[in-house]
Amino acid sequence: MPAAHSAPLPRAAATYEAEAAQVVKGKVESNHAGHTGTGFVNFDAVSDAYVEFTVQAEQPGATKLDFRYANGTSVDRPLDVTVNGTQAANDLSFPGTGAWTTWKTASVTTPLAAGTNRIRVTTSGVDGPNLDSLIVTPQGPTDTEKPTAPKNLRKDKEPTTTSVSLAWDAAGDNVKVTGYDVYQHGQLMKQVDGSTLATTVTGLTPGTGYDWTVFARDAVPNVSDASNAVTIATLPAPPDGEAPSVPQGLRATGKTATSVDLAWTPSTDNVQVTGYDIYRDGAAAGTSETASTTVAGLKAATAYRFKVRAFDAKGNRSAFGAEISVTTAGSQAGGVPDPGTVKTLASGVDVAWGVAFLPDGSGIYTERNTFDVYRLTKSGQKTKLGKVPNSQTTGGEGGLMGVEVSPNFATDHYVYFLHTSSDGNRIARMKLENNALSGYKVLLDGMAKSRYHNGGRLRFGPDGKLYAGMGDAQNDSRAQDKNSLNGKILRINPDGSIPSDNPFGNAVWSIGHRNPQGLDFDSQGRLWQAEFGDNIMDEVNLIQRGGNYGWPNCQGTEGSCAGYIAPKKTWPVSSASPSGLTIINDHVFVATTRGQRVYRLRIDANSDLVEQKTYFEGTYDRLRTVEVDPDGDIWLTTSTDKDGTAGNDRILLIDIVYSNGMTPTPGKPQPTSITPTDNALTPDKPTRNDSTSRHTTPPPTTP
């Protein structure tokens, strides 16, 4: 059922322990039972002893202050209360509680300012009570009104080779704009306060165009819609006509039936070597940031010629180093899935965002910006099935995103979509019959949208539940809020209802995510997830029921990460931006946009990701989605130019090759009655990663 919309709820109370506040002429003790925290404050027997709490308020307004205390005497021990230096109560009564282990509250309601408030309680007689804590409860509804979008974002000062200066007009808010967030294509670059309307972003790459937007936020924080977008390029680097040195020592360090590992001695340059061109049989076969690469998509027992040259940031290229010849292996032991030959299934595609498969083996894919849904056969026949109603773009990462086919499609004909609408992101269901979509029904809504960070992946689990990745919609405070559906992995029943075993009584399965992307299950029924980081690192996570993955306090392994679940793999954001994830025989394949490559990692017996291989780096540009089909081959989609030009993307078919030459066992698992445990385990149940190539059926592996 769709999420209900209701009036704003009262804001939540917050507790501040007295022993953690500023204590003057008093001491922290813990000799009387029943206190909260680690102790309480025993005032000195003087008339000017005090405790001062520092309290944060989301917005201004009346607030109830409950002071928890004990007074084992029969005499009232009043305290004076001030807020930011202004008297809120004179001689507030703290009467006897009957015993020092009996705790009660004394209350006063007073206005607080938005932001930081100093609340001081001072002895007004000779002595005060034992003070345990302060409970702060805002009165009235939460401020749910977001600021208006900043307008007229523009170039301020002239750019330099490494900086861009921006200015914008002030946003408005019903309470107060407290800050502005400056983004570059979904990456938070800088934050300034609410009175600042211009800033300079440094540390950029020379001669590079950057896509800028600004968002306003208030104290809650509510975050505005995006400003207008502007593209501003840094100035070119100083003239540099010197090419890097020629790469030396090219050699093969490993090979399979479909790939060759190469390495060489790094080149040098007067400024910096930024990469290497890899050529195979005289034609460009990709690039590499480092002095090693894997060239995939090859044929077994075949000789190939390889050569490498270096380039710098100005496009100066060295001569090629010596060419070598390598013959691929004829066969390979074990069930390792290796990418073989590649062909184009469909061209003229516009941001093919989601891919799923029908029982007959044909694929369904969504176009994010056109909202069209297509059926595509393995022979390349394409049929338009219709549009998903109420879809809307965000001018960035939102639109028609994930697609998933019902495990019971043969009888119910359902196809599921995650898309952006006028009122936010939602999960919907339609029927597919006679090559046409119909019967649009919203299953879950109430997820905020933004230009970026909309998540979007869908995946049915072996438990028959539908899992979804939902981004924080550029408001990172949502990721730790269990009542928000943003910054989460979500889990619902196929009819949209909430499973009774979800950890928080709503659709939330795990929390603390920034912008979760690829989802898939391994041979033990455990959920793996890829996630866009901000400006430090991207990650792959093993998802647990109710798990907290740290955002915004922790990004990958950087920040305040104690107490959060650590990722199983991280990469620098420049080398990844992992959008798609699929698993074959407990080998995780990850497609990357900014990294323009596919990673493959094996899940080992300790549930770690090991033996990383990198395929197709710089070969097919930005890569969006990777999915294994019922035959065990991979469909790979592109997002060529940051998604700004219609119809310039492709869907590629990668032939996955195994050993043994046996008949495959294709097919997608049917749902079971087993429910994942706290570690999302459903042992002994097959998952889609049991799919194998039509060439071979590898032996089973145990992670």
Q: Which residues are the active-site residues?
A: 453
- For residue 147, whether the previous peptide bond is cis, meaning omega lies within 30 degrees of 0, is no
Sheet with 578-584, edge to edge strand ranges: 578-584, 587-592, 598-603, 609-615
Of 536, 639, 644, 489, the residue nearest 579 (C-alpha): 639
Could you give the CA distance from residue 569 to residue 249 in angstroms, rounded to a whole number?
31
Which residues have CB under 8 Å from 293's CB, separation 6+? 261, 262, 276, 278, 286, 614, 617
Q: Are 315 and 293 in contact (CB under 8 A)?
A: no
Q: Are 466 and 25 in contact (CB under 8 A)?
A: no
Round to the nearest angstrom and report the end-to-end CA distance of the chain. 37
Q: Are 114 and 181 in contact (CB under 8 A)?
A: no
Q: Are 282 and 320 in contact (CB under 8 A)?
A: no
Q: Are 627 and 356 in contact (CB under 8 A)?
A: yes
DSSP of 478-510: GGG-TT-SSSEEEEE-TTSPPPTT-TTSSSEEE
Q: For every residue of 553-619, which 3-state class applies, written as one string? A: CEECCEECCCCCCCCCEEEEHHHCCEEEEEEECCEEEEEECCCCCEEEEEECCCCCEEEEEEECCCC
Range 439-450 burial, b when 16+ CB lie within 10 A, else e: eeebbbbbbbbb
Find how far residue 454's CA is from the centre of its chain: 9
Tell me whether strands 283-288 and 248-255 are parallel, antiparallel or unpaired: unpaired
Could you give the CA distance from residue 291 to residue 499 in angstroms, rounded to a whole number?
50
Which residues have CB under 8 Å from 556's CB, separation 6+? 533, 536, 537, 538, 539, 567, 570
Q: How many CB atoms lie within 10 A of CB 236?
A: 13
For the chain, give the number of residues: 703
Torsion of CA 15, 19, 23, 29, to 10 degrees: 140
- In a 3-state reduction of DSSP, which class is residue 332? coil
Q: How many CB atoms lie within 10 A of CB 321?
A: 21
Q: Are 367 and 350 in contact (CB under 8 A)?
A: yes
Tell me the two tokens of residue 119: 């609340």
Q: How many CB atoms lie within 10 A of CB 408?
A: 14
